[in-house]
Amino acid sequence: MSNKLNVAIIGSGNIGTDLMIKVLRTSSNLKMSVMVGIDPQSDGLARAQRMGVATTHEGV
C-alpha cells in the first residue's frame, strides 16, 4: 500500500493520546491527521500540537 490512510482521533484524553502516539510511532499505513477534543486547554491537544498534529476543539 503506497498511500497512507488519514486518521482523526476524537477524544484527547488518555486513551486518545495513547492511540495518537501509537499511530505516530508504529504505523506505516496510517497518517495521524487531526486530534479532536472539547477542551482547548487539554493536555492531549497540547501534546498533539507539540508533536506536529493538527488539533481542534470546535468539532469536525
pLDDT in tens, 9-40: 999 999 999 999 999 999 999 999 999 999 99
Of 9, 11, 12, the residue nearest 44 (C-alpha): 12
Question: Over 60: is that where the pLDDT of 5 sits?
Answer: yes
Return the domain boundaries, the chain: 5-56
E strands of the chain, at which residues? 5-10, 30-36, 54-56
Question: Over 90: is that where the pLDDT of 1 sits?
Answer: no
pLDDT value for 60:
76
pLDDT value for 41:
96
Note if the pTM is more than 0.85.
yes
Give me the architecture of the 5-56 domain, per CATH: 3-Layer(aba) Sandwich (3.40)
Q: 23 Cβ partners below 8 Å, 6+ apart?
A: 7, 9, 30, 32
What phi and psi, each to the nearest 5 degrees, are found at residue 36?
Answer: -115, 130
Question: Over 70: is that where the pLDDT of 2 sits?
Answer: no
